[in-house]
Amino acid sequence: MFRIPTLLMINEFIYRGQFMKEIRLLKEKGRDQKGEMSASAATAIQKVWRGFLARRLTKRRKIEEQLLIGMELPPYIESEAQRKAEEVKDYRRKLQSEREKEYQAALVSIEEDLRNQHEKKLNEQIGDELRRWIREYYDRTGRFPEMPSEESGGSRAMYSRTGTGMDSEISKSSPVSSKESKRSKESKDKKNGKGDENGKNGKEDADDLDTYKCASSAFLKDMTGANEEYEDIWKFKEDADNPHERYYKDMIEREKMVKIEQEIRNIVDELMRSELELLQAAYDRDRAQKGKKSKKQQKKARRGGKKSKKKKEKDLTPDRTTESLFEELVSNGIIRPYPLVKINDYIGEKCFVGASYRESGVEATPCLGDVRQLVKEYCILPLGSELVRNNAPLVRSVLITGPAKCGKKMLVHSICNEVGAMLFDLTPANIVGKYPGKSGLIMLIHLVMKVSRLLQPSVIWMDDAEKPFVKKIPKTDKTDPKRLKKDLVKIIKGICPEDRVIFIGTSRAPWDAEQKLLFQCYQKIIQIPRADYGSISMMWRTKLHRAGALNPRLDISCLSRISDSYTLGTLLEALDAVLTTKRRLQLRVRVLTAAEIAVQLSTREPVYAEHEAAADSWWYKTPMEKRRQKVLQRLEEAQAEAENGG
């Protein structure tokens, strides 16, 4: 009976002893290694931390060195200087608008003051001068002079034609504007130039094709005139007296005096014509020759007063305001808004190896930067400058072709943004069901042409430009694309040089249309080629840099190579699919790799070789390329003849 409690007590003592031993060992272990373990732990922590600081410092120095030598791009952050520059631009535009208003108001007020001060005096002086000159002419010749018409120059031309050496005392005292003298010089130069051109045409045709002769520029005379104006007026003009760059009152007064004198001279000339007719009639009655010479004078005056009549289009909306027409086109979706896109946002390199390729007998393919340059020259510059529009060769229509998502619409929107143009959308899918019937179509064309002229500069755009000229329309197409087929040429030919309006068509497959009708509509053709390595590389660097995803581990060269057969629009879609909001937040922890973009590209359609072959085959049939090939062939023949002759 007493054995069982004894065993229990013994086991309890054993367990307790073991427990106490473990506690004692733990205390001893902690007491023995306390100083030794704390030193080793500190050393390990210091080693890791100092290694981290050294690596970070080395990385920073490497980045600074790469930034210094241009191997690395700085972070894309809009600088304070750029923001201030934009503010200065806005302030300058506002100030220019204010100064323009002041200048226009000064033109009116100064002219009114000059008329009140000098109109009566000038009227009397010019009248007395003309009567005195007519009297002297009659005493010298025994007959009355013939007064030229206003278009022929009036009394000023009469002075110079008679060769008497007499001229208006007022015109001598008041300075004549340099513009009038320049215009007279230009008219003389044009007359002399016509004869020279006719005489040299035969020589130019016989010239050797090896020597390239640049045609005379239409802007050369304007540049010469501007240079002469600068030398005469602005070169020694002191700006210290006008620090705020307001108008110069003395210059306005001189110009307005010339204008007022000419207007008064025209009025006095008309009075003198009626007086001369009365004097001539009285003179003829005295000599029994009634009305013979007066009839001749009347006929001559009528000839001088004839003006060329220009046919005007019938206005179908004469009683409607511009605002109501604009509101109607906006409500029907013909006038459309467009996104804010600049022409420089169309990323692409220019072809820098064209000359070397041509020397070796290989034709270099244009790059996307060359396309951007053509759009500036054909579309943006003529629409943005009225002077260029009136003097440069008139470009009424442009066709932009290329595969899907290559940037055709982006170029159209950039044109509108650069010049502040109104966009009229005549795409067949956009006008379906609007303005039905023949009368509705006539009204649509009338509204587009009228409002585009009133709100110029304007861009008339048609997407799928080949559809109006397709021979067979698919049964699934319910947009009636041939609706504008007969009127497109009329719309384009109705664009005059004074209208800052251009018709732009975009097409994915222009070879599906009837080529003859297509080429009748579009003067210039811009074909967007396949994106080259330089353009793709530039696009990747620019977009990744702006997104903050550019890093040394991302191989841009490899990424550009695998993106070779895709358009830039497809590449941007793939990049947007990769760089989601969640992925952008992870860029500091997990950098972007080319494999992520490659996976997205594998799910998208590239530009196939069949499409490129069809585009190249169509391009060689265009009138522009045919003319170019003829010139190249003639140059090759001339070069071969020169080599054989040598």
User: Mind listing the pLDDT tens digit for each residue in 5-33?
Assistant: 677 778 787 888 888 888 888 877 665 55
Gap between the Cα atoms of 446 and 121, Å rounded: 51
Beta-sheet strand order (sheet of 397-401): 422-425, 458-463, 501-507, 397-401, 524-527
Q: What is the pLDDT of residue 175?
A: 41
Q: How many CB atoms lie within 10 A of CB 329?
A: 21
HSE-CB at 40 with a 13 A cutoff on CA atoms is 5
| pLDDT the model gives residue 469 | 87
* Cα 646 to Cα 643: distance, rounded to the nearest angstrom: 5
Q: Which sign does the torsion angle of CA 264, 267, 270, 274 carry?
A: negative
pLDDT of residue 4: 61
Q: Tell me, what's the pLDDT at 173?
A: 42
CA 261 to chain centre: 41
Q: pTM of the predicted model, to two decimals?
A: 0.68
What are the extents of the domains in the chain? Answer: 93-183+219-299, 322-527, 533-607
Structure-block tokens of residue 204: 């130019």
State the burial class of residue 81 (Cβ atoms within 10 Å of its Cβ: 0-12, 13-18, 19+): exposed
Give me Rg for the CA atoms of the chain: 41
The closest of 492, 426, 430, 495 to 461, measured between CA atoms, is: 426
Query: Would you state the structure tokens that stand for residue 241, as one six-digit string?
Result: 């007296």
The beta-strand segments (E) located in 169-322 are none
Query: 281 is written with which tokens?
Result: 């009639």
Give the pLDDT means over successive 10-residue stretches in the chain (646 positions). 66 83 78 60 90 92 86 73 86 90 91 88 85 82 77 70 46 43 45 46 45 70 88 82 83 89 85 81 69 46 43 72 89 90 89 78 83 91 86 88 90 92 90 85 89 89 88 80 84 87 91 87 89 90 87 86 89 91 88 89 89 88 86 82 74
pLDDT at position 272: 82
Cα separation, 338 vs 451, in Å, equals: 18
Q: Which fold is adopted by the domain 322-527?
A: Rossmann fold (3.40.50)
- In this prediction, residue 181 carries a pLDDT of 44
- Residue the block writes with tokens 């007020």: 109
Model pLDDT, residue 30: 61
Pair of tokens at residue 284: 């003829």
pLDDT at residue 401, rounded to an integer: 92
- As to burial, measured by CB atoms within 10 angstroms (0-12 exposed, 13-18 middle, 19+ buried), residue 569 is middle
- Considering all CA atoms of the chain, what is the largest pairwise distance in Å, rounded to the nearest integer? 183
Q: How far is CA 292 from the centre of its chain?
A: 61
pLDDT in the model for residue 460: 92
What is the per-residue pLDDT for 31? Answer: 58
User: Quick one: which H or E segment has residue 453?
Assistant: helix 437-454
